[in-house]
Chain A
Amino acid sequence: MSAEAAIVGALLVPLGGMVLIALTGWRPNVREGVTLVTSLVTFLLVASIFPSVAAGARPEVALFEMLPGLALAFRVEPLGMAFAGIASFLWIITSIYSIGYMRGHHEENQTRFYAFFAMAIFSAIGVAFSANMLTLFAFYEVLSVCTYPLVTHQGTDEAKRAGRIYLGILIGTSIAFQLLAIGWTYIVAGTLDFQDGGILAGKAEGPLVGVLLALYVFGIGKAALMPFHRWLPAAMVAPTPVSALLHAVAVVKAGVFSVVKVIVYIFGYDYLAQQMSGGWLVYVAGFTIIAASIIALRQDNLKLRLAYSTISQLSYVVIAAAILAPMSVMGAALHIVAHAFGKITLFFAAGAILVASHKTQVSQLDGIGRRMPWTMAAFAIGSLSMIGLPPTVGFISKWYILQGAVQAHQMVAVAVIVVSTLLNAGYFLPIVYSAFFRPEKALAGAAQHHIKVDHGEAPFTSVFALTATAAATVALFLFPDAPLSLARLLVGG
């Protein structure tokens, strides 16, 4: 199969899967079978593009003329390849996990859940493969809208409120800022195609560059740069698989992916480095990293703590791109991959704890490592990756970012990374420690919250999924060739 056909296939399969899921909703086994097969086929299709991209080709497909001269077009370059690869691969594992989770947790409206999940993956892959900013924006918006029913899945007032914040910030920033920036870029540059070296080089000068950069990075609300980060903690009311795949991987990565794309292919990082007005981004991202980490320290709700950790980790990618050195841009690409595997493991673990014991707070986790050894071991590995310690892939990406920062003499960035590493350790290691080494304690009001005292591991599918992603986190440390080669291609080496 040609790479071009595979691109179209990778988009059509999840879309077709969504329709099939909706149609087979009355038979859960068939429905979940469809989900699994769809995710598997999608991944295989995405993977089949990898060899040609790694060989330096850039397969392209143009579908419709969305606007005259601005087609809905796809072009697979290394970064998009990496993003689509992890999104589709983790979809398989998340699907396996979801089956255990959704049944174990007796969720309602499961058909709607699986259907919109497929649609979210469809739009994430659309974002990854987009050949121009308009296509990216289109799928970005579709992603916002189709994850709304997932965030508000519970249908409670709290979910509704969270949905408002979620959609309000994501749609608000993207329409008010991002679309303005896109229109402006089109007027200035006459094109929106992603090109090596950027399309604004030589066309926009002085303060305009800074303004456009600000409109882009704040307009891409999914990157959760402060002060537009509130939607991410709000989205944690969603079922855990949603938080795991979408709000640790697909949605948020679509955000930072877009930021990197904009910096590399719209501005061109060389060009941006020459301009004086782009330097502030390092400070904004640095502030977000530190501030989010400090907030994470104070969260007792496990999923919220993970959410703030995500905000902080996303800004690693932004700061890495904003350093504007080849080495750090590589680090940014690697960190997208690294964080995906690490964070999804952590969310899977949080979900497994919830299903097995109905515990949601960090303070309730004393001694749980002995009841759920697999889960908590995976959690420990995920934590190491977040902190950036070997033998996990988080170490590699952080290493590249640091090297780039040193190369570019960005001492602020270096300091931020060092301090935040300590903070990461500060909010993850105590969880691991108390889970394994503290004795279990009786919880006041346990019965009210339906907390089970006597429980074992979570359902098999959940444990399998989180073990797999934890293993992948280690495996990518040992064999980082695939992501590394893509990252090198991204910076043209």
Chain B
Amino acid sequence: MEFPGHFNYWIVIVMMMAGFYVVISQGNLVKKVVGLNIFQVSVFVFYISMGKVDGGTAPIIHPDWTTYTNPVPSVLILTAIVVGVATTALALALVVRIRRAFGTIEDDEIEAQEEAQS
């Protein structure tokens, strides 16, 4: 019962680790950004699923319903999504500039150029 009952957390952990792994292992700067996104999304899922109450509905007061899902985590995640979008946009903008300056977006090639420069 424990395992299926917590399956949302398992999914969160799998996504989180997958995203983290991509950030660490990928040399391509865009792929790193993708990994970062997966990592962040796992946290979004974590927050939203944590606020879900079994059988609850959206928190709109209505005589038919007595159980509501906690709206606060969803609201928080709205903010976090905005932040995530901004981060992604900035990261991609930086990648564009890096590509212009170094002619590549592969981490090891950039590092080699940096070594040569210093």
Whether the complex brings A and B within 8 Å at their CB atoms is answered: no
**B interface, CB within 8 angstroms of A:** none
Q: Which A residues form the contact surface with B (CB < 8 A)?
A: none
